[in-house]
Amino acid sequence: MPGTAASYGLADPYDPVAAIDAEAHPMSDLIAQFGSPELALAAYNAGPAPIEACHCIPPCPETQAYVTRILTPTRGRGGARGPGLEVWLVA
């Protein structure tokens, strides 16, 4: 979102190095705020208000599917790898 990007100092969203660095900060902040990657991902998708209200992944099919889609490849391994991709969730 343009407002979020600006608040984290991202002037050019097409600059990949700056965009990756700027994207890490909101997720880090959400993990600190909610205490878990699952809730942080839900807040990233749905906004923080629904997660603050229930301290859970809200019963929104889009948000539930988003969290599942992101976390499923990492279950039991702590990370996911694919061609040219390596993802590690660190809490």
Compute the mean pLDDT over every residue in the chain, rounded to the nearest whole number: 82
Give the C-alpha separation, 38 to 86, whole Å.
19
Instruction: Locate 81 and state its tokens.
Output: 């790898």
pLDDT band per the 50, 70, 90 thresholds, residue 87: low
| pLDDT per residue as tens digits for the range 8-46 | 888 888 888 888 888 788 888 999 999 999 999 999 999
CB atoms within 10 A of CB 87: 12
Domain ranges of the chain: 2-88
Q: What angle do CA 4, 10, 12 make, to 5 degrees?
A: 120
Backbone phi and psi for residue 58, each to the nearest 5 degrees, phi listed first: -65, 160
Backbone phi and psi for residue 16, each to the nearest 5 degrees, phi listed first: -60, -40
This prediction's pTM = 0.69
